[in-house]
Structure 1
Amino acid sequence: MAKHKNLSKSSQPPKISVLSDEDLSKLEAREAAATNPIQKAWLSTLVRRQYSRRATITASERAREDSSDRQVFGLDARGFAGPGGGRMSTVMPPVEYRGTNVQIAGLYPWIVGANAPVLGTPLGPHLATGAPVCFDPLSAKEAKAISAPACMIIALNGFGKSTLLRRIALGDIAAGVRVLWPGDVKPDGRKLTEAVDGQVTEVGYGGIGRINPLDPGPIGAAIDDLGRHIDDLRTRARFEHDAEILAEIDEEIAVQELRRQQTQYALHARQENITGALCEIVRGKRLEDFEQTVLASAIRLLYTPHDEGGAGFSPTNPAILDNLIALLVSNNQELMDDAVVDDEQEYLAAIQGLRRTLRAMVKGRFGEVFNGQSTVRVDVNKPSMCLDMSSVPQDDEMMRSSVLLSGWNEAFATIEAAHVLADAGLGPNLAFHVLMDELWQVLQRPMMAGRIDALLRLQRVVGVAITFVTHSIEDLEKAGALGLFERCRARIIGPVPDVEIGRLEKVMNFSQTEKSMLTNWSNDADLNSPIDQKNARIRRAAAKIREAADKAGVVSTDKQLVIAGPLAAGTGQFLLKLGEGNRPGAPFKVWVTPAERASGIHNTDERLEAATKDRNQGFAA
């Protein structure tokens, strides 16, 4: 049989340069005639190289020959061409794994850098590579991945924002970070807080709980602790005879006195800000400039001792709004000077609007929540602290905005107090993560953007992470609060419509692939594809098996049976973007562990599920 060759262009061996027979003979003649040892050795090397190259070409030709009578197909990166050649039309990517250098050392040299960030809490697998995506604001800040530990989460409702938030919170709790839910209106964090033995405090009208905006609260307690610490230092100084040690004590006293004065000023600023914010929510417009001045002076006078012309209230005996109203009409000269009036009648006429606003805050449902001693005291020794405000009806927008803002103020006051004590050496240095959900409910009230900004700027940002959650950046645009978004160095975007992508592109960059991905997540949910329907049937079947096992008294060890109801396509899928510029984001799907499912902390549809169950049983009957 003749030997068949089929050396296609794609299968040709690499081009090897060799001399012709004539040129090789000349080279060999030069080698034989050479008398210089170095020159002769060099020419000998060139001759051997030519013979080696010829041998390589011959071996390559022999490897491509086939003595059989079948045709030899061309070979390229996809396999042999032709029938039976095993050629792959699509080359599948290899399975990717992620691990430490020790774990994957045996896979060398097939090691590449992963695009998924590993910055704290595991959130879920990367949608493209399957690599774990890990993130929480404090860990990202410590790793210098972002310049400030602030994060903004934006997605349509029902796509897993709350589950993502709880996942981040669980990672923080495991790392020793104190988690605060200062306005839990659904509630989203209550179950998690109870599961980790945290603190849950309820706030709402109907006698459920109160927040007194004039209560010095934890900052007032911290100021008292500083005062006792200063007294102890002074007592120690009276019995100290060493001049050097005495100088150190005097210096420490001066430092602590300055810290106490600064904290006192911050406390008054916080009281003024939250009381003014509540007044503006009730009134629906800004306070007049002189009203803000009168309000600030009145709050300060409430906590000024009697012998200095004040009302004599203290952190242990806080004033309430009724006391504030009484002071405003007490013919106080300083307040009249602040209103720039000549007599009492003119003063009372000037502050009539402020008195009406405050009067509305001490009557009815507002009075039940804000006109009384606080029942809220946040315990920083707990891993998670939740202010449950879910008892406030969803349609009462004014009250919801008020309790949310008050809860946020209480959270940051607690953090401020903890930092003050830590700086004075009177407590541990603690890291906090404040989860500010339902931001839109506050921003829809007029003038709230500035109040929230003032609230945040009154905190000491060291060791404090903040995560905002809202449905659309339009909420921020309408309220003039885009600065909140811009100061968040991490953005997590979930399923959103096309119009939302257009708004987001004004303040951040997306690739075309990322934009398509975000909108497809929300669009797929509306299609209810056959795959989604199949998954729903599997979940329903698993739920029935679980229910039957419970009725039979059988304890199932299959954690996969603990499955929530049907999920819409796109649920739990998010895009994590860090920093600015055109850096690509990391798309991931939130992974919920079987233990989390079994605990029920992510199940926020209990009422709907119970109604469905009863309805199905009724149909069955």
Structure 2
Amino acid sequence: MAPHRASSATLAGAYPFLTAPALDRGVLVGTDALTGGPFCFDPWDLYAAGELTNPNLLLAGVIGQGKSALAKSLAVRSIAAGRRVYVPGDPKGEWAAVARAVGGVVLALGPGSAVRLNPLDAGDGDPAAVHGRRARLLVALAETTLGRPLRPAEHGALDAAVTVAARRPAPTVPDVIDALAAPDPDAARADGSTAVERTAEGREVAHGLRRLVRGDLAGLFDGPSTGHLDPAAPMVALDLSRLGSNEDALALAMTCTSAWLEAALAAPGAGPRWVIYDEAWRLMRSQALVQRMQAQWKLSRAYGIANLLILHRLSDLDAVGHAGTEARAIAAGLLADCSTRVIYRQETDQLAATAAALGLTGTERDLLPALGRGTGLWKLPRRSHVVHHHLHPDEAALFDTDAAMRAYPTGKVPS
């Protein structure tokens, strides 16, 4: 074959690892596998420098390759750099120990817990913004429990009920249900309806919301908050592990907790914050929750937050819906709004879909099955790196998620 000569700028398009400059802005992650130099990352610094178009990050990789350790070390090290961390839903309870270790707050929700959160807590903001947050939350909850989109008349009935409930100093979900069952006649008349008609229009919505009052989530989101978010806490983790494998309950709880955090995220002057969605494949089953996440992604720059979405593989998006559906398009939009993609080892049958979804080159795609534990491909706009993630021994002990697998030597499992 005849030799070919080209500039490094040209060759970078075919083999991007040849010319990627060092990334030394932010917290230390590990070492660049190709140069041996340190690799650092901070989405806010890189966004300010024009390296990123948004601060959001996608982390994907098969089980057991170190995704969780990377996410936790990035969170803890970012705290040392002055960032804060929110984990709006921890399905397995793995972030609780991390939050306590850094002096953060853990709120455990589920059967047997004394913690209750009022998802309608107003937070700061003008009345119109507060009303909008409450209405969007209740629409998401109702659509999740009913398993369908609300009809226009139902939207109207729910909006009117939120207005009536807001006459109380601290409205709760039961207040909204009561307002749906007994609408304000004057408000209905002003909307060209009657109280009887409005009651009929909101009946199914009220039944859907009652799951939070009398169903499996009773006692968690149906009264004034007993747990409060400390904006000065370095980390806040909402432990949902007590909900077990109930996917519907998890989706409803995540919708409530994300809304509860939304007021804090929108607070001005709170500084840069990570919002981490671990085990996101479970969250993807709820279209209403994915839609709320999409809105948060779009507002990340305005809020000063960086969302971290953790998946096993890109086919996890199938849980949202089939290709071509609105739900699948929304989920794909979350990926598009992640300027940074960190991909750990992928199985060979996932390579084509992963490369297509994330815009990988052929070289990057072929690299994925060969990545070792703790090594990932970091793909940023205009640059790519292969990075060995390094853990301090204290971090390794704190972040360990495999202890149960090593608890008993072969042949010594207790009876």
Give the TM-score of the pair, scaled to structure 1: 0.58
1:181-213 deviation digits (Å, cap 9, x = unpaired): 111222232222111111111112334422222
1:244-267 deviation digits (Å, cap 9, x = unpaired): xxxxxxxxxxxxxxxx5xx32222
Alignment match, 2:81: 175
Query: In 1, Cα distance between the equivalents of 2:287 and 2:258?
Result: 18
Note the C-alpha offset of 1:400. 1.0
Asked if the contact 2:182–2:199 (Cα under 8 Å) also holds between the matched residues in 1, the reply is no
Asked if the contact 1:294–1:338 (Cα under 8 Å) also holds between the matched residues in 2, the reply is no
Which residue of the other structure, out of 582, 586, 611, is the alignment partner of 2:385? 586
Which residue of the other structure, out of 575, 592, 596, is the alignment partner of 2:377? 575
Are residues 1:410 and 2:223 paired? no
Alignment match, 1:518: 368
Query: In 2, Cα distance between the equivalents of 1:282 and 1:270?
Result: 19
TM alignment of 1:306-317, pairs within 5 A: 313-314=168-169
**One-letter amino acid of the structure 2 residue matched with residue 329 of structure 1:** A
3-state SS in 2 of match to 1:276: helix
TM alignment of 1:386-405, pairs within 5 A: 386-393=237-244, 395-405=245-255
Alignment match, 1:490: 340
Which residue of the other structure, out of 369, 379, 385, is the alignment partner of 2:230? 379
Structure 1 residues 573, 339: CA separation in 2 closer, same or farther (over 3 Å shift)?
Answer: farther
Task: For structure 1, list consecutive stretches of 5 or more residues without a partner in the other structure.
Answer: 1-111, 223-259, 305-312, 423-428, 522-569
Structure 1 residues 601, 415: CA separation in 2 closer, same or farther (over 3 Å shift)?
Answer: same
Alignment match, 1:299: 162
Note the C-alpha offset of 1:334. 5.2
Structure 1 residues 204, 458: CA separation in 2 closer, same or farther (over 3 Å shift)?
Answer: farther
- Between 1 and 2, higher relative CO (CA 8 Å, sep ≥ 6) is seen in 2
Structure 1 residues 412, 613: CA separation in 2 closer, same or farther (over 3 Å shift)?
Answer: farther
TM alignment of 1:530-609, pairs within 5 A: 570-579=372-381, 583-597=382-396, 600-609=397-406
**One-letter amino acid of the structure 2 residue matched with residue 138 of structure 1:** W
Structure 1 residues 459, 492: CA separation in 2 closer, same or farther (over 3 Å shift)?
Answer: closer
Are residues 1:509 and 2:359 paired? yes
Note the C-alpha offset of 1:375. 2.6
Query: In 1, Cα distance between the equivalents of 2:367 and 2:209?
Result: 50
Which residue of the other structure, out of 452, 467, 472, is the alignment partner of 2:293? 452
Are residues 1:433 and 2:274 paired? yes
Alignment match, 2:302: 461
TM alignment of 1:43-54, pairs within 5 A: none
Query: In 1, Cα distance between the equivalents of 2:71 and 2:220?
Result: 28
Asked if the contact 2:221–2:256 (Cα under 8 Å) also holds between the matched residues in 1, the reply is no
Note the C-alpha offset of 1:339. 7.7
Asked if the contact 2:157–2:198 (Cα under 8 Å) also holds between the matched residues in 1, the reply is no
Larger radius of gyration: 1
Q: How many residues align?
A: 389
Alignment match, 1:336: 188
1:478-521 deviation digits (Å, cap 9, x = unpaired): 33221111111111111112343222333433233321220233
Alignment match, 1:616: 412
**One-letter amino acid of the structure 1 residue matched with residue 404 of structure 2:** R
Structure 1 residues 373, 606: CA separation in 2 closer, same or farther (over 3 Å shift)?
Answer: farther
3-state SS in 1 of match to 2:400: coil
Asked if the contact 2:69–2:399 (Cα under 8 Å) also holds between the matched residues in 1, the reply is yes
**One-letter amino acid of the structure 2 residue matched with residue 577 of structure 1:** K
1:508-555 deviation digits (Å, cap 9, x = unpaired): 33233321220233xxxxxxxxxxxxxxxxxxxxxxxxxxxxxxxxxx
Note the C-alpha offset of 1:468. 1.3
1:387-414 deviation digits (Å, cap 9, x = unpaired): 1112110x20001112222222222321
Alignment match, 2:3: none
Structure 1 residues 198, 402: CA separation in 2 closer, same or farther (over 3 Å shift)?
Answer: same
Structure 1 residues 458, 353: CA separation in 2 closer, same or farther (over 3 Å shift)?
Answer: farther
Give the TM-score of the pair, scaled to structure 2: 0.85
3-state SS in 1 of match to 2:216: helix
Query: In 1, Cα distance between the equivalents of 2:230 and 2:105?
Result: 7
Task: Give the share of equivalent positions with the same residue, in percent.
Answer: 27
3-state SS in 2 of match to 1:465: strand
